[in-house]
Structure 1
Amino acid sequence: MTATLPTVPPPPRRRRNARPAWEEQPGVVGQSAKGGVLAVVVLAVLVPMWVVLVTSISSQETINAAGGLVVVPREIDLSAYRTIFSGGQISQALWISTLVTGVGTAVSLVVTVLAAYGLSRPGTVGHRGLLFYFLLTFLVYPGLVPSYLVVTGIGLKDSLWALILPTALNVFNFVVMRAFFQNIPGELLDSARVDGAGEFRILWRIVLPLSKAVIAVVGLFYAVGYWNVWFNALLYIDDNEKFPIQRVLQSFILAGQTPQTSGATVGVTMPPTLAIKMAVVVVTVAPIALVYPFVQRHFTRGVIIGAIKG
């Protein structure tokens, strides 16, 4: 007679969202407090955006009745946006910001990718010296006056390149991308070299397709920086026709200047000045707000994985 062993039931599967055994269940007070804090944060972000948007599409009568910023819309008036896109200084500033953002992001990505890939491979010429030179800028910053003298000394004063070249390489983005490249298995690159591929072909065919996440994140960082360029424009740009949108927005809101419109709007009733200011704010914020959701899914993989190695 054979003895039968008792069957042990398999351990219950843990649900994906189940809490670990050492973590206590949340209480009603804790859950309510978290929900309340989250609601306050969401309102603190959405309410100002709502007020700016509503004010930008309000008429002069509505703004006068509200005493300034409008919270509850009454009638929709798009004359402020028609004024912005009808030509003049604001349209020119939008074109300048778009041009600087596109060219600057492309230049920065090329420089960052080449520098990060070259310094991520051990044994490259001047590896330690160049890496120390890059990382030294985390501790030592040249200062405003030397930077201004360098930019003006090489002839970039009042040029759009003054908004691009001084910030073409961000060391933080370089460190993140270099760490990401270091995570790529060296055996994969060695096998490509055995097959006769050069370094540029390896970078183009193997490394870049595997690095879409970090490139998307770093590209967004650069694009936001170039789109929001203001201080460099204040320092290096004197020609009003070369002002980016952030510089024009600063002149409208802080300096209280009135927008310069094209000749087609002469004799036409101008929309409220406050509505134009808020419309410029909306146009300034909208591009980044629209692009961010498409890149958000790459943030965890691109930044956190790229920051594992330093």
Structure 2
Amino acid sequence: MKKKNTDWGDLLFRSMNAAVLGLLALLTCFPFYYVLIVSLTDPAEFLQKRWVLWPDQWSLDSYRYLLSAKAFVRSIGNSAFLAVVGTACSLTVTSALAYALSRRRMRGRRQVQLMVLLTILFSPGMIPAYMLVRQLGLLNSMGSIIIPTLANGWSVLLMKAFFDSLPSELDESASIDGSNELRTWLSIILPLSLPALAAFGLFYAVGYWNQFFSALLYINDAKKWPIQVLLQNMLLSASNTELDANDVSTQPPPSEMLKMAAIIIATVPIVIVYPFLQKHFAKGAMVGSIKG
């Protein structure tokens, strides 16, 4: 009898747990669903109802208008450039520095590692960072976003821990075969580090794609704005003037629909990239946590 009551109690708990988690999932997903539905609604129907959960007529007018506006397409290109070039540069610098710190025969290794650790514990602040970017002549350039964030101290230390977990015999055998440090890093270490590179690459790519504050601080030229800055200006504006309506020849949809479509376009690239890195991501996310 006791076992039967226990079974019923366990079933009740599981049912309530599933119901609560399902409700939370619906509440979390509903804003994304609503944004997508509004962006795909016919403009005339949206102006008539203003609140649409399932449109009677579907339309891609908002997407056509956005993709025909030079300012919007240009901002997408700027964000893509940051995500691709910035991620490649950051992965190169991070992995190279982490590999150097993992070599025990490197002179001054502890001092350099302490300097990397200090960047995690202490931040220079916004004003010194702006002064540095200005002194380097990087204002109003993509370099103002990429160069100051080339390497993240936390990522360097985690990747160093991953390199520490690799068998030291790899370096020894490569050295016996006449390989130098650069060739060992490129030909042996990096191919074995794909899970770590995929994980950190995804983190860097998302960070560069979502660059907002740095771009707002360092870039004054609207033609060099990434998508997030343009989207912020669109969301704050009551109209679609940020898109430079002279660039398009069609009648613009309501500004609310354009904002929803812009949010979808800004989100989709990262959603598309993630499945290709998923097989490496779970393993790479644990990088450095277990040393065997």
SS of the equivalent of 2:256 reads helix
Q: How many Å separate the matches in 1 of 2:257 and 2:46?
A: 8
- Which residue pairs with 1:281 in the alignment? 263
**In the TM superposition, what whole-angstrom CA distance separates every residue of 1:217-249 from its partner, at most 9, and x where no partner exists?**
100000000000000011011111111000000
Of 107-116 and 250-259, more deviation after overlay is shown by 250-259
Percent of aligned positions that are identical: 38
- Which residue pairs with 1:233 in the alignment? 215
- Which residue pairs with 1:195 in the alignment? 177
Shift of 1:35: 1.2
> Residues 218 and 112 of structure 1: is their aligned pair in 2 closer, same or farther, counting only changes over 3 Å?
same
The alignment status of 1:27 with 2:46, answered yes or no, reads no
Shift of 1:306: 2.2
Give the structure-2-normalised TM-score.
0.92
- Which residue pairs with 1:162 in the alignment? 144
Say if 1:84 and 1:90, in contact at 8 Å, map to a contact too.
yes
How well do the aligned residues superpose, as a CA RMSD in angstroms? Answer: 1.8
Shift of 1:30: 2.3
2:75 paired residue among 90, 93, 103: 93
- Which residue pairs with 2:22 in the alignment? 39
Q: How many residues align?
A: 284
Q: How many Å separate the matches in 2 of 1:261 and 1:148?
A: 29
- Which residue pairs with 2:228 in the alignment? 246
Say if 1:86 and 1:262, in contact at 8 Å, map to a contact too.
no
Say if 2:98 and 2:157, in contact at 8 Å, map to a contact too.
yes
- Which residue pairs with 2:159 in the alignment? 177
- Which residue pairs with 1:260 in the alignment? 243
Say if 2:42 and 2:55, in contact at 8 Å, map to a contact too.
no
Shift of 1:59: 2.4
Q: How many Å separate the matches in 2 of 1:158 and 1:30?
A: 57
Q: How many Å separate the matches in 1 of 2:46 and 2:205?
A: 34
Q: Larger helix proportion, structure 1 or 2? A: 2
The AA in structure 1 aligned to 2:212 is W
- Which residue pairs with 1:290 in the alignment? 272
SS of the equivalent of 1:164 reads helix
> Residues 155 and 127 of structure 1: is their aligned pair in 2 closer, same or farther, counting only changes over 3 Å?
same
SS of the equivalent of 1:99 reads helix
> Residues 124 and 276 of structure 1: is their aligned pair in 2 closer, same or farther, counting only changes over 3 Å?
same
2:189 paired residue among 188, 192, 207: 207
SS of the equivalent of 2:33 reads helix
- Which residue pairs with 1:138 in the alignment? 120
Say if 1:214 and 1:306, in contact at 8 Å, map to a contact too.
no
Say if 2:239 and 2:255, in contact at 8 Å, map to a contact too.
no
Give the structure-1-normalised TM-score.
0.87
- Which residue pairs with 2:47 in the alignment? 64
Q: Which runs of 5+ in 1 are unaligned?
A: 1-23
**In the TM superposition, what whole-angstrom CA distance separates every residue of 1:129-169 from its partner, at most 9, and x where no partner exists?**
11000011121110111111111111111111111111111
Runs of 4+ in 1 over 6 A off after TM superposition: none
Q: Which runs of 5+ in 2 are unaligned?
A: 1-5
Mark the structure with the bigger radius of gyration: 1
